[in-house]
């Protein structure tokens, strides 16, 4: 009796302290992230935002500085600047040089003795602009000052060069701070909920990682973002019944820099997002026709957001941000739906859906948002049909047909996702006739929609006429008449750039491939994806047929991508296919990884812990991108 009572009390005590376990784990994971953040920011300090008063200007002639030869440059303080920059180089990087800030009376206000290695560091890292912080209140608006550079210990063999000057006021990078805060919040949401069904906590995780990319990517930094903005604007004009003129007028387009994580874009967003829209600008949303417009479907979400912004009288920056937010929400909903549809291995959809490059595209206005999300939903839907072990119904056929018909006109090559239907076993049909009766109309409908929307465009690229009379690109004649040469071109391209495409698909090169992060973090994320597939439950591993179809479909899509880029962007005689970016392969990541599934390796590892690697990777993404702001 006493023994039973003691056991009961022991169980009660354990229950009372059971809440401590997740709390202790949370402390440990936050401590790990904090230590990693401090280490990363020590190696790659986050760039500040800079409001330039004197823009960066490089002189026609550079001044050589050594011994008694000095560089002097006079300037007038134009406002609240508290820092200045010098564009510099050196013949060698040993020793020091001196920089002095002098007022109009010849008094030295501040001086710096600087190691030449700073020149080498900036030259290897980003550019050759070296900043000097004068401090707030030292410069007075309207007063004249002089910058003097000397290198008394240097001679002609060890001299330094000055070839440019700028002044600016530094601003705190709130975007990076918000992203880091979101990372800690998202990691804690995962930790405290990971034992619950994934459907209950995956949505805030996806939204959190999406918002991280939302804040660290400058508006319009993604590839071809202006083109996508114009397309969404055109859809908005359709919704409002307005005319699309040939000129872009008014204040609803700022010409933000594309393909760069630009300091200027961050500053404009920060300073203007809450300013009222300019009065008397009725034509703010008139846009031009001279851009590629595929179809309205991929821009319905962003177009709706722009329409709402216009009706509410919001300014350009807030409206543009609203369109990015709507696209992110649409993508997160699609990935969340894919997770819910997956019969097992739901972590695969979460991990693929929150890949840094996938989220990078999700916070843009690109049609990749629709393509990437819909491909995940279609794949998960096919697997759901297989798992339910019911007959493939006409309802299933209609849903598949609508998804394929939406995908095809946006990006023709992804219409090949229909091949995944061959994963569905014969037992889901009442014989071969039933399979043909239901699957053939699905494919025919998708092809018909594709033909109606993209036939002229496809024909132009196949024949080469899309490039006019001066076409110097490969075309289908080359592929058909010289198939072995084409295969050699494919093999050579994949051999040289295959690893690059894979890492880019996960996320290592952002903002139009102009911002590269250390591949350590990309490999970490990729290892997480593979490990998740190596530790599957025994009953969740697909059969050989399903793996073969998933791999085969992926191979067809990859071949289609490379073929399309051959006849669209590759000049005749090139040894490699041009224009291919890793983000094109995001839609095949889930099928390829699915085909790698094997029975659980006999190690006691909870697969849910693998997601922790994602927070390490995202920490590297934040530090890598925010230390590469373009000034």
Per the model's pLDDT, the better-predicted residue between 103 and 599 turns out to be 103
Q: Is residue 126 part of a domain?
A: yes
Is there a domain that residue 165 lies in?
yes
Torsion of CA 370, 373, 376, 377, to 10 degrees: -80
Q: Which of 496, 502, 631, 476 minimizes the C-alpha distance to 564?
A: 476
Lowest-confidence segment of 39-43, 94-98, 115-119 by average pLDDT: 39-43
Q: How many CB atoms lie within 10 A of CB 157?
A: 8
Check if the beta carbon of residue 365 is closer than 8 Å to that of residue 407: no
Domain that holds residue 123: 50-171
Residue 151 lies in a domain: yes
Identify the pLDDT of residue 277: 66
484: its two tokens: 């072995």
CA distances from 416 to 460, 542, 552, 561 (A): 20, 21, 10, 11
Total domains in the chain come to 1
- For residue 556, what are the CA distances in angstroms to 368, 419, 546, 549, 553? 19, 9, 15, 10, 5
pTM given for the model = 0.89
Give the model confidence (pLDDT) of 464-502 as tens digits.
544 444 458 788 888 888 889 999 999 999 999 999 999
Backbone angles phi, psi at 70, to 5 degrees: -120, 165
**DSSP H stretches of helix in 315-367:** 316-341, 346-353, 356-362
**Predicted confidence (pLDDT) at residue 22 exceeds the cutoff of 80:** no
| Percent of the chain whose pLDDT exceeds 90 | 48
At 166-223, the pLDDT tens digits run 999 999 999 999 999 999 999 999 988 888 899 999 999 999 999 999 999 998 888 8
Other Cβ atoms less than 10 A from the Cβ of 15: the count is 9
Query: 527 or 124: which carries more pLDDT confidence?
Result: 527
- The residue length of the chain stands at 631
Q: For residue 540, give every residue at least 6 positions away whose Cβ sits within 8 Å of its Cβ, in sequence order, or none.
A: 344, 345, 597
| Residues β-bridged to residue 161 | 64, 89
Neighbouring residues of 444: CB distance < 8 A, sequence distance ≥ 6: none
For residue 71, tell me if it sits in a domain: yes
Sign of the torsion formed by the C-alpha atoms of 217, 218, 219 and 225: negative
Share of the chain above pLDDT 70, in %: 86
Note whether residue 121 is domain-resident. yes
Distance of CA 537 to the CA centre of its chain: 32
Helices 316-341 and 346-353 pack at an angle, to 10 degrees, of 160
Candidate ranges 59-63, 208-212, 286-290, 620-624; pick with highest mean pLDDT:
208-212
On whether residue 193 sits in a domain, the answer given is no
C-alpha 127/C-alpha 49 separation (Å) is 16
pLDDT, tens digit, for every residue of 419-435? Answer: 999 999 988 888 888 88
Which pLDDT score, from 0 to 100, does residue 97 have? 94
Write out pLDDT tens, residues 191-203. Answer: 888 888 999 999 9
Closest CA to 558 of 461, 417, 355: 417
At 81 the three-state DSSP class reads: coil
513 occurs within a structural domain: no
Instruction: Judge whether 59 lies within some domain.
Output: yes
CATH of the domain at 104: 2.60.120.380
């Amino acid at each position: 009796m006493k023994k039973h009572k003691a056991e009961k009390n022991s169980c009660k005590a354990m229950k009372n302290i059971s809440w401590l376990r997740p709390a202790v784990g949370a402390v440990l994971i936050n401590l790990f992230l904090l230590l990693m953040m401090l280490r990363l920011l020590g190696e790659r300090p986050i760039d500040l935002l800079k409001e330039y008063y004197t823009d960066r200007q490089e002189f026609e002639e550079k001044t050589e500085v050594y011994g008694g030869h000095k560089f002097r440059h006079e300037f007038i303080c134009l406002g609240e600047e508290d820092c200045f920059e010098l564009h510099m180089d050196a013949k060698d990087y040993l020793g020091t040089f001196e920089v002095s800030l002098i007022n109009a009376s010849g008094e030295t206000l501040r001086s710096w003795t600087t190691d030449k290695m700073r020149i080498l560091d900036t030259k290897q890292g980003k550019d050759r602009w070296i900043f000097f912080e004068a401090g707030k209140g030292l410069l007075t608006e309207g007063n004249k000052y002089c910058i003097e550079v000397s290198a008394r210990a240097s001679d002609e063999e060890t001299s330094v060069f000055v070839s440019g000057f700028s002044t600016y006021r530094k601003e705190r990078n709130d975007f990076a701070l918000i992203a880091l805060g979101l990372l800690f919040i998202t990691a804690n949401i995962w930790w405290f909920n990971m034992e619950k069904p994934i459907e209950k906590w995956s949505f805030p995780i996806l939204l959190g990682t999406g918002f991280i990319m939302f804040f660290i990517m400058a508006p319009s930094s993604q590839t071809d973002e202006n083109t996508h903005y114009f397309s969404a604007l055109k859809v908005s004009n359709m919704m409002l019944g307005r005319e699309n003129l040939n000129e872009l007028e008014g204040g609803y387009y700022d010409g933000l820099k594309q393909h760069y994580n630009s300091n200027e874009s961050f500053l404009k967003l920060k300073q203007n997002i809450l300013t009222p829209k300019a009065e008397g600008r009725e034509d703010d949303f008139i846009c031009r026709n001279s851009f590629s417009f595929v179809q309205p479907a991929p821009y319905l979400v962003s177009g709706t957001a722009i329409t709402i912004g216009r009706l509410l009288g919001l300014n350009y920056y807030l409206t543009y941000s609203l369109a990015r937010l709507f696209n992110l929400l649409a993508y997160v909903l699609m990935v969340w739906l894919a997770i819910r549809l997956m019969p097992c291995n739901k972590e695969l959809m979460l991990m693929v859906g929150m890949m840094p490059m996938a989220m990078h595209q999700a916070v843009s206005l690109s049609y990749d948002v629709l393509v990437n999300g819909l491909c995940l939903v279609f794949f998960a839907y096919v697997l759901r049909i297989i798992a339910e072990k019911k007959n493939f119904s006409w309802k299933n056929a209609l849903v598949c047909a609508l998804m394929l018909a939406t995908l095809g006109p946006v990006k023709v090559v992804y219409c090949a996702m229909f091949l995944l239907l061959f994963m569905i076993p014969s037992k889901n049909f009442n014989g071969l006739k039933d399979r043909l009766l239901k699957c053939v109309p699905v494919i025919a409908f998708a092809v018909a929609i594709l033909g109606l929307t993209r036939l002229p465009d496809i024909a132009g690229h196949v024949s080469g006429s899309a490039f006019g009379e001066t076409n110097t690109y490969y075309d289908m004649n080359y592929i058909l008449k010289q198939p072995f040469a084409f295969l050699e071109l494919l093999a050579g391209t994949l051999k040289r750039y295959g690893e690059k495409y894979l890492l880019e698909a996960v996320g290592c090169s952002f903002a139009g491939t102009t911002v590269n992060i250390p591949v350590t973090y990309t490999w970490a994320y990729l290892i997480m994806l593979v490990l998740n597939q190596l530790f599957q439950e025994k009953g969740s591993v697909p059969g050989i047929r399903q793996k073969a179809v998933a791999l085969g479909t992926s191979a067809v899509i990859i071949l289609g991508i490379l073929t399309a880029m051959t006849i669209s962007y590759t000049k005749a005689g090139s040894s490699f296919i041009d224009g291919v970016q890793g983000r094109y392969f995001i839609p095949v990541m889930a099928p390829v990884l699915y085909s790698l599934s094997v029975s659980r390796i006999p190690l006691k590892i909870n697969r849910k812990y693998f997601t922790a690697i994602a927070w390490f990777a995202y920490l590297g993404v934040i530090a890598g991108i925010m230390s590469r702001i373009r000034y």
